[in-house]
Amino acid sequence: MSETMDALRPEENKMGTMPVNKLLLTMSLPMVISMLIQALYNVVDSIFVAQIGETALTAVSLAFPIQNLIIAIAVGTGVGVNALLSRSLGEKNQKGANLAAVNGIFVFILSYIVSALLGILFSRFYFTVQTDNAEIISQGTAYLSICTIFSFGVYLEIALERIMQSTGRTIYNMITQGLGAVINIILDPILIFGLFGLPRLGIAGAAIATVIGQIIAMMLLLYFNLTRNPDVDLNMRGFRPHKETITNIYKVGLPSIIMQSIGSVMTFGVNKILLLFSETAVSVFGIFFKLQSFIFMPVFGLNNGMVPIVAYNWGAKNRDRIMKTIRSSIIGSVSIMFLGLIIFQAFPVQLLQLFDASEHMISIGVPALRIISLGFLFAGYCIIIGSVFQALGNGVYSLIVSVARQLLCILPIAYIFAKVFGLHAIWYAFPLAETMSLVLSTILFQRIYIKCIKKL
């Protein structure tokens, strides 16, 4: 098996030789497509849930911070694995690359065990601290319990995606993410409404459809990694945790975990503020997150294609390729966000009507979508710069920007505006926070350029 892998391994990884723009497109396009499919699933899932009733949509919206927390832990850990694995390959350190991969899988499994236990013990409590609506508590507990107990699918799916991505084989991620999302979309109406003679499961059916799609995607990714990825050996036989490797994974990954987890804290806090006015406002906020995924997911796909290129060429000490990759990524990201801004400004009513929005929901949702989307252009730039920090081994800078944006800006401004001006003013906290993030990200990038890039 080892000899076969050696024969398949190219003399030089394409991340160090292929023209940058072509490489970025090659790396990113499969991720963009797969994430667009994932975004489609997010929207379709909520459209079906909305047909159960507004309380179901509110329950799913309130559950979102915990689902986002699971994703944050998985993606943040993946950032650490990705950066360490790509850098090891750039340095031609095969042993280091293999250690990064197998120890990465190990810490992902530990993360799942913790998430499952917390889901079993605290799902109902999580909803009772937010609302006294018995229907929302019941629906939300059922939904969140299933998503956490069976979250091994999403944890290992992301782990295996990041390993494949680190070696430049993102086409397989497109296949698996796309298949998982399509399975979710197909199963949603079947399990929610009890089609083809199956029992009507309601909101629990939406959760079951989600975890089935994740598990199938995980299994396919495992197959692809074992048979189509000669750059990394995932043989766990005789495995022992490697302290230094795990430390290096979390040195980069932990700030990313905290940074992305802050998004869950922010969403939870904003939901609490919105509940001062109505449960419908919470549903609107949840709808916004589903809709914005159509804009942000392609940017994250571009972003995921960029990270291993920057990390690899940092390991290979190639400054020109690093800077060209960053510039091209920013141009692509801001262009996508500009298109999103136009859509949200021009068609807010039509977007809300996808979710059977009442007149009351539309009256709250139209200004919300138009105001929050004003920050899209700045967000596109900041997403790329934040991931550059992580790819260069300085995730603390990303953490600083995220804390400042979401905890020091969005939450305090949203609360003050809610108290002083009312519900519609809350949404202005988001573009104001993006403006601050733009300034701070630029200042920190100048510092890391001088420290890490300029002297290469």
C-alpha to C-alpha distance for 216 and 222, rounded to whole angstroms: 10
Helix/strand/coil percent split, the chain, to 5 = 85, 0, 15
Give the residue ranges of DSSP H helices in 392-426.
395-405, 411-420
Residue 421, number of CB atoms within 10 A of its CB: 11
Q: Give the total residue count for the chain.
A: 456
C-alpha to C-alpha distance for 154 and 210, rounded to whole angstroms: 9
C-alpha to C-alpha distance for 424 and 416, rounded to whole angstroms: 12
Residue 345: phi and psi, rounded to 5, are -75, -35
Residue 417, token pair as written in the block: 């505006």
Give the residue ranges of DSSP H helices in 194-278.
203-228, 243-274
- The 3-state DSSP class for residue 61 equals helix
Structural contact between residues 2 and 233, judged by C-beta atoms closer than 8 angstroms: yes
Predicted confidence at residue 12, as pLDDT, reads: 54
- pLDDT beneath 70: ranges in the chain: 1-16, 456
Q: Which of 260, 294, 265 is nearest to 72 (CA)?
A: 260
User: Angle CA(287)–CA(289)–CA(293) in degrees, nearest 5?
Assistant: 115
* Amino acid letter, residue 107: V
Helices (H) and strands (E) in the chain, counts: 17, 0
Q: Which of 84, 301, 45, 274 is nearest to 173 (CA)?
A: 301
Q: Find the domain containing 160 and state its range.
A: 2-453
Predicted confidence at residue 11, as pLDDT, reads: 46
- Tell me how many domains the chain contains: 1
Residue 128 exposure: Cα atoms within 13 Å on the Cβ side: 4
User: Angle CA(125)–CA(406)–CA(258) in degrees, nearest 5?
Assistant: 65
Q: How is 160-190 classified by DSSP, letter by letter?
A: HHHHHHHTT-HHHHHHHHHHHHHHHHHHHHH
Cβ partners under 8 Å of residue 120, min gap 6: 145, 148, 149
Radius of gyration of the chain (CA): 22
| Per-residue model confidence as pLDDT tens digits over 100-113 | 888 888 999 999 99
pTM check: above 0.95: no
Residue 120, token pair as written in the block: 């079993």
